[in-house]
A = this chain, B = another copy of it.
């Protein structure tokens, strides 16, 4: 629909110039939404609930934000702001990317509900942009931009993919409103059925491993991350840093 008034949230100024002083702010609203989402899940962060959280009427929020979707975009970018990439690129790309990966994971674990917001393609928010500049900047000196994008896709794919899996169990649990033991009691009949059928040997191994894991989640993550970084190292020309001996690529 050609809605002539449409402007991206990132271009829309917080408030027009004239008129009385506003009682609230985008930052305050965003913060309230995050606070609610952290404790009750993102689906509990309704417009009415957020407004109540800051002591406003529901419709007042629309003076600050055009729609709930735009508010979620603000929230997502605010979360990106929690990822500390200060001082990047430092010159040591491997250290930079390791720090970045751990920061992203930590943020996701703090705000598991982030898994339920489907990113709008180029975030284009200030924090998202800052991340792009800092993080992709670490490889920018070594590879052309298209290859940089390809390698970053591997890294962020790994990080988000694994942490998404870590987090979705906890989310599922919270959504269902069950305690962990209740949840186990409910899913275990299905698991037991599958184990006893004998048709799923690999799944059986996975369950056994999950019951007595060799590595903690942190260690698992770090192990995979090292693999991914090795993979990136192999794709870099040999001038690329302290530890690199592999042949370069076209």
Contacts and interface: CB of A to CB of B under 8 A. Distances in A.
A133 B203 contact: yes
Given A129-B200, A161-B161, A202-B136, A10 B190 contact: yes
A227 B220 CA distance: 21
Interface residues of A, number: 73
Contacts of A191: 124
Interface string A59-76: 000000000000000000
Interface of A is mostly: helix
Query: In this complex, which of A122, A162, A189, A223 has the most chain B Cβ atoms within 10 angstroms of its Cβ?
Result: A122
Given A200-B133, A231-B227, A220 B171 contact: no
B8 A168 contact: no
Given A1-B177, A145-B205, A150-B227, 11 more contacts: A6-B186, A121-B165, A129-B200, A132-B206, A150-B224, A154-B158, A154-B227, A157-B158, A227-B234, A231-B231, A234-B234
Give the top 10 A-B pairs by smallest Cβ distance, nearest first. A157-B161, A231-B231, A157-B158, A121-B169, A157-B157, A145-B205, A150-B224, A153-B162, A136-B202, A145-B209
